[in-house]
Structure 1
């Protein structure tokens, strides 16, 4: 079971690594659900994680969001070409994997587009996560089966609800479906999970199925940072260029410790029979 932290700044990436995250999902513009980050940010974080900027090297891996715009996940040919180029640049800058999602207008996984993105990832031996576009499909069983056939490693989901807690039953059903059909992929639960409730989530999910290595946890673990800059936007004083959200290393560390303890506990007790 791994902990992935969703970040959109260099500071958040540093804090994720300091807190013991296994992986970051690197985006820009989290307020839009996450968009493709700039090459400079990807390169800088890769240097930090490899210890080229004074820090100790970290084992935290970097998965880069490949999403060219806000809005839906149905893309034009030009957008798909740009996404393939973004995968090339992510690989060249040291990313370990990428995150993407593409749907048809009818609410199914776009097999043609997804196959192209998967093929591009395989050119560079990149890991692959299909993001929460999975929560918009009409038939998630069909979607998981197709994504497994195409070679996607994991899906990020809130069980087709606003948060992973609300969608917990579906998350558990997804884990069962993946296991029972030997799909060979990981279900990663995300949205609304934090250090205060991750144990409750895991315990409740474990009652529904044996989680094992089929579940990862995803969160942003946000906290507010106030700016020390002494200036403001005079034309619009209500516009805030000061405080902003970053990931909190203490929250991440706490969540990671809770997850590790939980995994140790379930390994030492009698296994739950698989259905």
Structure 2
């Protein structure tokens, strides 16, 4: 079996390098992972373009749902141009319409406006008709779909992930994400049939003094700050590699 790609989502440049140096095959570049991932700044994109692995920029102008206004869509199109100009390898994007179907008109325009490949993100987990959305993602020209199988964590969406793989039938890659760890990676790969995984591989860095000024003023959460954990990346990469070795 060929290598199963591991994509790691990050929201700091240090985290991006940590992921790349410890086994990540691709980086999803975000701002504010605490909000589910938002569009990174231009400076962040330019700096991340120097990483030794492909970097895909999240294109998401705000937290919350994926029904965007015309003004927000204009911002997203400009951010996509910025990602291309920065030299990144691709983008991650998604949008739905008022009926909770993929916003085909906008996504068609978006994908035609740049030359970069694109991943459809977990907006697909919010659609009314999941199988239809898989077909639409293929028709729209997405490279892959990031999905949890419409569950809070991918481990709870294995049945739908398996269905997505069958529906895709090799025409598009299905990448499982949300709650992926070294402990459950083999089970998810085996039972769903997906051949790409997405994870944050983060751990909480706690303040030495929970009463320090930044915490008291609300800039740092009391539970600490999540950072990309190199050992978690390595452990997940090893678990994936062990699965591929036994599956040969």
TM above 0.5: yes
TM-score normalised by the chain length of structure 1: 0.83
- Aligned 1:52-67 pairs, distance under 5 A: 58=52, 60-67=53-60
Structure 1 residue 185 displacement after superposition: 0.6
- Matched residues, number: 243
Partner of residue 215, structure 1: 195
1:72-111 equivalences in 2 (<5 Å):
72-111=65-104
Distance 2:79 2:202 in 1: 27
User: How big is the alpha-carbon RMSD for the aligned residues of Structure 1 and Structure 2?
Assistant: 2.0
CA distance in 2, matches of 1:193, 1:231: 32
| 1:95-139 C-alpha deviation (Å, 9 max, x unpaired) | 1000010100111001100101111233xxx12101000000111
Q: Tell me, which stretches of 5 or more residues in structure 2 are unaligned?
A: none
Cα separation, 1, equivalents of 2:152 and 2:211: 37
Deviation string for 1:219-244 (max 9, x for gaps)?
Answer: 1011122457999338x727353841
Of 142, 155, 173, 2:132 maps to 142
Aligned to 1:198: 185
TM-score (norm: length of structure 2)? 0.91
Does structure 2 conserve the Cα–Cα contact (< 8 Å) formed by 1:26 and 1:65? Answer: yes
Match of 2:196, SS?
A: strand
Equivalent-residue separation in structure 2 for 1:16 and 1:121 (angstroms): 27
Whether the 8 Å CA contact 2:175–2:198 is kept in 1: the answer is: yes
> What's 1:259 paired with?
240
